[in-house]
Structures are given as C-alpha cells and as structure tokens.
Structure 1
Amino acid sequence: MKLGSGAFEGSYSFGSRFKEEAGTNPEELLGAAHAGCFSMALAGILQQAGYAPERIHTRARVHIEADEQGFQITAIALETEARIPGLDAADFQRIAEFAKNACALSRALRNGSAAISLQARLAT
C-alpha cells in the first residue's frame, strides 16, 4: 500500500490483518489517522487558549469484532500524554475532551456523518 502523498508505503495483506505477519491493516491505519487528528486538534485548541504544548503523544486502540455482516469497529480508545507548561490537570482534561469532540475523524466516526461513495471499474 502506498499513500498518494508518498508519506507511507508498506506491506498490506490478509496475513498482516488477520495473522501475525509483517505489515499494516485498515484498523491500524485508521487508529493512526485518528490519533494524529486528535493530537493536531488538541495542539490547535491549546495554542488558541494561550498554551504552548512542548509534547503531545497520542495512541489509538481500535477494537474490532466480528458480526453476521463481517467485521465492525466497536470502539476507539484514545490515550494521550502531553507536556504543557502552566496548564493544570483539570483544565487539560476539559480541553482534551473538547479536542476529542472537535477532531474531524472523531466527528465522522461518532456521527456516521461521512457519506461513502463508490465508483467501481473493472480493468481490462
């Protein structure tokens, strides 16, 4: 798999998704995108509030379960740790929660608001 921007290229297969083979999978990529989106939203909101974050590290744990239609993502757990001079824990929690709700990926996943279109073409 290669991203259009060229920022990532790596193995992507049935084995990397359902077995312990090297490579990535759709859920891992979604988790990475969600963690990045949240971190960027958090940094922007903190800067607007007058804080200068020195470090933000976010991990997303994507939970997937099988059902009668295939597989379904049932939850994404974001875990973030940040170093922000002058910010207390209570305000950090409040701002982080706001960032979680403001992040574009959180909004799309939570609301199911993203329309998904498909153009299928069979190559000859």
Structure 2
Amino acid sequence: MTEKTASIHWEGSGKKGKGEISTETGALERYPYGFASRFEDDRRGTNPEEILAAAHAACFTMAFSFACDKAGFATEKIDAQARVRLSPQGEGFVIDRIALTLNADVPGIDEAKFQEIAQAAKRDCPLSKALASVAEISLQATLTTGAP
C-alpha cells in the first residue's frame, strides 16, 4: 500500500486569492495557482485540472506499459496526453470529459491486441477508477510501431 500527499496554502478570497501547491516529493514546491491560471490565460501558474490531466496520463501510461509487459510485449516508447474539460454546471463547475491520447511503439503487437490492451489500461488504471464519475473518458490510441 502507498500513500502520497500534496498540500495547498491559500491566501485571499475567491478571484483575488492566490494559492501554492507543494508535493511530498518536492516535484512541486510552492507552485502558484489561482483564478487567472485556472479560468483565464495566465501561464505563470497551474490549476487543478492540469494537475489531474498529468496524473491521469501518467497513471494510464504506466498501466498500459505494465499490461503490455504482462502480455509479452515490450513497449519502446509511449507518448500520452490527457485533456480535462471543466464545464459550468448550475452555480458551479464539473469535470465532464477527459480525453486520453496514446501513441506507442510496441514491436511485435498487432493492432487488435494493441487496442485491447489500451482500452483495458484506460479502464483499469487507478486514476480512471477514481474518476469513474466523469461522464466521458475517451481514448484515441495509435500504434506507431507494431507487427512486422
């Protein structure tokens, strides 16, 4: 069993407030976020959806690689992306879509097996399971190197 932590420090109220995100590993250390980096085009900070996208893409990529290993296929290179959509709902917001994209070099695998493993990894990665309430989690998977 493993547990990881992140912490937030916030000062100010609502739109004028500013926060800092720190992670246990130090990968993020007092990294800024706030209204402008979440809802406007301020690129000097991050936001919860961007961090969620990174986490989901990372989890899915590892699940895919491990599943390929288990099936007897060694992954050579994997590029993945997650796009998280935050939409207005009533008085607040909801994450209503996550779109995963996968491009992978997996020598010796055929397209059908590749798609089967990719879909299973999307379904079974711990973050996909944790995000089961998201209305749509899609996957576009492209095999860039496969069977000879």
Q: Could you say which TM-score interval applies, normalised by the shorter chain?
A: 0.7 to 0.9
Q: Which has the higher contact order (CA 8 A, sep 6+)?
A: 1
> Alignment length, in residue pairs?
112
Gaps of 5+ in 1: 113-124
Between the aligned partners of 2:91 and 2:102, the Cα distance in structure 1 is 32
Matches within 5 A, 1:1-124: 1-9=21-29, 10-21=31-42, 22-111=44-133
With structure 2 as the length reference, what TM-score do the two structures score? 0.72
| Cα displacement string for residues 48-106 of structure 1 (whole angstroms, at most 9, x for unaligned residues) | 11111001111001111111141100010000000011011111101000101110110
Q: Which has the higher strand share?
A: 2
Name the % identity.
47
With structure 1 as the length reference, what TM-score do the two structures score? 0.85
Counterpart residue number, 1:119: none
Which secondary structure state, in structure 1, belongs to the residue aligned with residue 59 of structure 2?
helix
CA RMSD across the alignment: 1.3
Q: Runs in 1 of length 4+ with deviation above 6 angstroms? A: none
Q: Which has the higher helix share?
A: 1
- The structure-2 alpha-carbon separation of the partners of 1:53 and 1:108, relative to structure 1 and needing over 3 Å to count, comes to same
